[in-house]
Amino acid sequence: MAELGFRSVLLLLLPLLLLTSGFSHHSQAAKLNIPKVLLPLARSTKINFTLEATEGCYRWSSNRPEVASVESIDMDERQCSQRAVLQARSTQLSRLTSIILAEDVVTGQVLRCDAIVDVISEIQIVSTTRELHLEDSPLELMIHALDSEGNTFSTLAGLVFDWSLVKGMETATFPDSYSSLRVLKFSESTYTPPTYISEMERVGKQGDIILVSGIKTGHAKLKAKIQEPLYTHVGAAEVQLLILENILLSPAYDVYLLAGTSIKYKVQKIRQGKITELSMPCDQYELQLKNSVVAPGGDAYSVVAELDPSTSTVFALQHGHANIVLDHKTLGMKGASRLPNSTLYVVEPGYLVFKINPGERWVLETGRTYEIFIEVFDKSSNKIYLSDNVRIEPTFPEEFFEVLESSLNGSYHRVKAVKNGQTVIEGMLRAVVDRRGTEHALPVPVRNEQDVEIYNPIVLSPSILTFPWQPKEGAYQYTIKASGGSGNFSWSSSNAAVATVTVKGVMTTVRDVGVSTVYAHDLRNPLHYGEMKVYVIEPVRMEFAPCVVEARVNLTLELPLRIFGQLSSEDGEKVTLSDCSHFDLQVQMENHGVFQLQDGRLLPGQQHCSGVRVQAVSPGYTNLLVSYTHGNVHLSAKITIAAYPPLRAVDPVSVALVTLGSSKDMLFEGGPKPWILEPSKFFRNLTAEDPSSVSLANRPGVRAKLLHSPASGVRACGLLGEQTVFVHHESGVAAITVSALGYQTSHLEKAAVLPGFEPLTVVSATLDLLLSPPL
């Protein structure tokens, strides 16, 4: 019989050993959110708790469902889930345990959780603080329940509690303290509670979590009691709360002062989201100086500082430290809460530090205004508060700075940088002025200096670039030039879908229509930057820019094109595109054989974005048409161009020999004809290489039949020699007369002619010049 009992024990223990072994191995990969759950016994309310595994899909079971049951949540087609709801079902007033098992449907490994159901013995109210401030965020209060052994229950979800305000003996000095606090519903706040709390609030019940908010200053006591009939014997939980005004002490931080200086404290109150200053002294609060400690070597029979209550000003007398404390004047509130306080230190100055705003960098830009602060620190690097009776002497070189404003103590200055270059600013803490107005110089003034670099503003060129939209990404590139600044820039684009920019300032269009702002920030001070705009827009109009439209045969004409785009549909402003060299331009000429189209396109320039080249082949006129078509965009421009034969002398061909005072008619042919579109503006220019030796005159009367187009030039020689006649853009007939009027002195001297020679008899000669227009 004993052997049979031993076998039964072994048979019972074997599955448990296997289960434990499987659980230990699987726990390395997957875990439950809690190993043990303590649930309260309740008869009118079902208490739930959610179990969740970190991974896998499980079938859940309970070995004692009458104590605690488990039910899967969100089961899949395999009838398994990763989460399950655990529910306390025991009805016995004793501690009972149920083992919850979760078996992985894939690996077969098992996770375990112990569900314990027990009776609540005590409840407590817990919170993050016992103090509330008026008009501040509400305070969350939560109930914790304990069993007879002092263990905390895992959840109280679903249990109904009664929260109420009570008046206790501690609030006897505040007869209206009962109304200083109110209980809030979560639905009245901006906070999101657990789901079960929202459901309880909808049916007018209170759970284990509530919000409270202060209405007026004072004390308040709040109690909570379980409404479950099973727990009528469990005492209520209470909490004592203090409701205060939202009071601030300014400055609230520890303050360091120089001996002989002072600081004025302010008491501030936050009401309705605004900070207002209380007039001190007042009936509610008072400032006090406490715990004065004199530094070694000081006067032990004197205080470190003294407080003037009428102005809330503290005067530093000697080295040491003391506490400045704000307290309630009301006896019932005195010492009841931790009102703001700080420590005051009286120290020696150690060194000066320069600070600048904006940017906090000492790389400045001409034309900008800056705020410069001179701060004083003690030898332990604590910043010293500088009152108005401190005297700091700054030095700003007038060549580089214009001082716009300065504080009385010299610690603050507003300056404008006026010239680029490198310079140094200086500062010196030299004295303190006492309450009688006497200035006391420091035995050892504290000095420092700061190096400053000033640059001209960053300017990007050009300021605007406009490109036509092209389906090809990266169709256009442009190197943006930056001047000013330190020379080291960080480039960026505000709209990378329109245009991007490289670290070297090379802009590239992308794929979208729109505008992008390109920035070049100075790496030495990113607050300094230059900017320009890049527009990628649809072209709307095309025209030829003003240019030369006539060319001699065998020479080339460059015909620049301007293409316009519209910036926006609202204002209708049109701008010239910066580059349209990628346009597929179609070129047509009405009269073939006059000009020949050359390969390639004109590079973009200041007044054009592209263009074509044509070479004059034979004399004549033609109309040249350039067109562009893409989708619904159709653009065209037309221009008239002309080719003419070379202008050349016919008679004489190269040299004409005339005597003094004679003239010569010269004949030319070729050159441009009167412009076909504006013949009335046709003109001729006739010039001589040496106007002092020859005179030129048009002789339209020589050939009457050509008076409508006179082109004759008359050449007169003042001495033997050679002259050149220039005829520009003319055709027709002219007579040149050359007259010999006398001898030139320089020639007589070179020829060694003896005095007494006979004067020259005036002689002349005429040359007819015939200039015929090209056929």
Structural domain boundaries in the chain? 21-118, 122-244, 247-347, 351-455, 459-537, 541-644, 648-771
In this prediction, residues 528-545 reach a mean pLDDT of 92
Greatest pairwise CA separation for the chain in angstroms: 179
Confidence class for position 168, pLDDT limits 50, 70, 90: low
User: What pLDDT score does 713 carry?
Assistant: 40
Q: Which structure tokens are listed for 747?
A: 């020639």
In this prediction, residues 266-281 reach a mean pLDDT of 84
What span, in angstroms and rounded, lies between the C-alpha atoms of 263 and 285? 19
DSSP strands (E only) in 590-713: 595-597, 610-616, 620-630, 633-644, 648-651, 661-665, 667-669, 685-688, 694-695
User: What pLDDT score does 391 carry?
Assistant: 96
Q: The domain 541-644: what is its CATH number?
A: 2.60.40.1080
A 10 A CB-CB count for 505 gives: 16
Sheet hosting strand 68-73, strand order edge to edge: 48-52, 83-88, 68-73
User: What pLDDT score does 761 carry?
Assistant: 44
What span, in angstroms and rounded, lies between the C-alpha atoms of 43 and 156? 13
236 touches 223 (CB < 8 A): yes
Range from 31-35, 231-235, 523-527, 669-673 carrying the lowest mean pLDDT? 669-673
Same fold, 122-244 and 459-537: yes
pTM over 0.85: no
DSSP code of 238? E
Range from 47-56, 465-474, 716-725 carrying the lowest mean pLDDT? 716-725
Confidence class for position 242, pLDDT limits 50, 70, 90: confident
User: Is the model's pLDDT at 65 over the cut of 60?
Assistant: yes
User: What pLDDT score does 311 carry?
Assistant: 92
In this prediction, residues 370-398 reach a mean pLDDT of 96
What span, in angstroms and rounded, lies between the C-alpha atoms of 760 and 764? 12
Confidence class for position 745, pLDDT limits 50, 70, 90: low
CA distances from 338 to 333, 341, 521 (A): 11, 8, 49
User: What pLDDT score does 702 carry?
Assistant: 40
Range from 415-419, 450-454, 548-552 carrying the lowest mean pLDDT? 548-552
Phi, psi of 547 (to 5 degrees): -165, 175
Q: Which structure tokens are listed for 638?
A: 């037309």
User: What pLDDT score does 524 carry?
Assistant: 94
Q: Which CATH number fits domain 122-244: 2.60.40.10, 3.60.20.30, 3.30.230.10, 3.40.640.10?
A: 2.60.40.10
DSSP strands (E only) in 419-573: 421-433, 439-455, 459-461, 464-468, 477-479, 481-483, 489-493, 499-501, 506-509, 514-522, 525-537, 539-544, 550-552, 556-566
CATH class belonging to 21-118:
mainly beta
What span, in angstroms and rounded, lies between the C-alpha atoms of 238 and 332? 21
User: Is the model's pLDDT at 703 over the cut of 90?
Assistant: no
What span, in angstroms and rounded, lies between the C-alpha atoms of 372 and 374? 7
154: alpha, beta or left? (left if phi > 0; alpha if psi -120 to 50): alpha
Buried b / exposed e over 724-747, threshold 16 CB at 10 Å, is ebebebbbbbbbbbbbbeebeeee
Confidence class for position 709, pLDDT limits 50, 70, 90: very low
What span, in angstroms and rounded, lies between the C-alpha atoms of 283 and 280? 9
A 10 A CB-CB count for 21 gives: 12
Range from 3-17, 117-131, 329-343, 445-459 carrying the lowest mean pLDDT? 3-17
- Among residues 664, 650, 652, the alpha carbon closest in space to that of 714 is found at 664
Range from 105-119, 436-450, 589-603, 681-695 carrying the lowest mean pLDDT? 681-695
CATH 3.40.50.300 fits 459-537, yes or no: no
Spatial neighbors of 716 by CB under 8 A, at least 6 apart, are 661, 662, 663, 694, 695, 696, 697, 736, 737, 738, 739, 764
User: What pLDDT score does 767 carry?
Assistant: 55
CATH 2.40.240.10 fits 351-455, yes or no: no
User: Is the model's pLDDT at 476 over the cut of 80?
Assistant: yes
User: What pLDDT score does 333 carry?
Assistant: 58
Confidence class for position 647, pLDDT limits 50, 70, 90: confident
DSSP code of 11? H
In this prediction, residues 685-698 reach a mean pLDDT of 70
Q: The domain 247-347: what is its CATH number?
A: 2.60.40
